[in-house]
Amino acid sequence: MIHELKASERITTSAIGDFCPYWTILDEKVMVADTAEEIISIFPEKKRIIDPVAVIGLLHFNYIPGNRTLIQGVQRMPWRATLRGDGFIKRHAPIPHANNYVGYREIAQNLQELLEEELYNAIQGYRRVFLLLSGGLDSRIIAGVIKKIEPQLNAQITCISWGFLNSRDVVYARKIAGWYNWGFFHIPYDCKLTWDNIKRGAVWGGSEVAGFNLHGLSWFRNAKPEDLVISGSFGNSLGRAEYNHRHLNDIKIEALSRNRMGLLHPSLPNGLVALIENDRQTAWEGTQREPDWVLNELNEQENYLRRELCHPKNYIRNFCNLYEAYTNNKVVSYIWSISPECRKKEVYYQLLKNLDSKLYSLPYARTGVAPDGTRELDLSLRVRYHEWWKWLRCELRPRLEPLFFSSGLRKLNLFYGLNMHLIWKKWLKEPMNKPGWGLIIAEICSIELSRQHFNIQPCSIKIYRRDIIADVFKRGLKKTRNCFLKTFK
| pLDDT tens digits, 20-34 | 999 999 999 999 999
Q: How confident is the model at residue 462 (pLDDT cuts 50, 70, 90)?
A: low
pLDDT at 478: 44
Asked if the model's pLDDT at residue 471 lies above 80, the reply is no
Query: Which strand (E) or helix (H) includes residue 90?
Result: strand 89-91
Could you give the CA distance from residue 270 to residue 267 in angstroms, rounded to a whole number?
9
Residue among 385, 470, 469 nearest 174 (CA): 385
| pLDDT tens digits, 81-136 | 999 999 999 999 999 999 999 999 999 999 999 999 999 999 999 999 999 999 99
Kindly state the average pLDDT of the residues 402-417: 91
| pLDDT tens digits, 32-62 | 999 999 999 999 999 999 999 999 999 989 9
pLDDT at 264: 82
pLDDT at 432: 83
Per-chain mean pLDDT for the chain: 91
Residue pair 121/345 in contact (Cβ under 8 Å)? The answer is no
Alpha helices in 241-368 (DSSP H): 271-281, 292-299, 310-313, 329-335, 345-355, 357-361
Cα distances from 180 to residues 95, 113, 157, 231, in angstroms, run 35, 20, 10, 18
Residue among 127, 168, 118 nearest 148 (CA): 118
Dihedral pair phi/psi, residue 82, rounded to 5°: -125, 125
Instruction: Report the helix count and the strand count for the chain, using DSSP H and E.
Output: 20, 14
Ramachandran bin of 163, using left for φ above 0, alpha for ψ from -120 to 50, beta for the remaining angles = left
Query: Which strand (E) or helix (H) includes residue 10?
Result: strand 10-12
Q: How confident is the model at residue 266 (pLDDT cuts 50, 70, 90)?
A: confident
Residue among 216, 193, 190, 201 nearest 443 (CA): 201
Asked if the model's pLDDT at residue 300 lies above 70, the reply is yes
Give the single-character DSSP code of 103: -
Q: How confident is the model at residue 435 (pLDDT cuts 50, 70, 90)?
A: confident
Identify each DSSP E strand in 92-244 by its residue range: 128-132, 156-162, 183-187, 228-231, 242-243
pLDDT at 258: 61
Could you give the CA distance from residue 343 to residue 340 in angstroms, rounded to a whole number?
5
pLDDT at 469: 36
Residue among 257, 278, 215, 226 nearest 56 (CA): 257
pLDDT at 467: 38
Could you give the CA distance from residue 468 to residue 417 in angstroms, rounded to a whole number?
10
Asked if the model's pLDDT at residue 481 lies above 50, the reply is no
> pTM of the predicted model, to two decimals?
0.91
Kindly state the average pLDDT of the residues 365-370: 95
Pairing outcome for strands 246-247 and 242-243: antiparallel
Asked if the model's pLDDT at residue 206 lies above 70, the reply is yes
Least confident of 92-101, 229-238, 258-267, 446-455: 258-267
Residue pair 162/174 in contact (Cβ under 8 Å)? The answer is no
Give the single-character DSSP code of 150: G
pLDDT at 473: 38
Asked if the model's pLDDT at residue 386 lies above 90, the reply is yes
CB-based contacts of 241, cutoff 8 Å, min separation 6: 247, 248, 249, 297, 340, 343, 344
Q: Calculate what percentage of the chain has a pLDDT beyond 90.
A: 82
Give the bridge partners for 89, in sequence order: 83
Choose which CATH entry (3.30.200.20, 3.40.50.150, 3.40.50.10860, 3.40.50.620) describes domain 104-361. 3.40.50.620
Residue among 322, 329, 320, 321 nearest 117 (CA): 329
Give the single-character DSSP code of 456: P
pLDDT at 489: 35
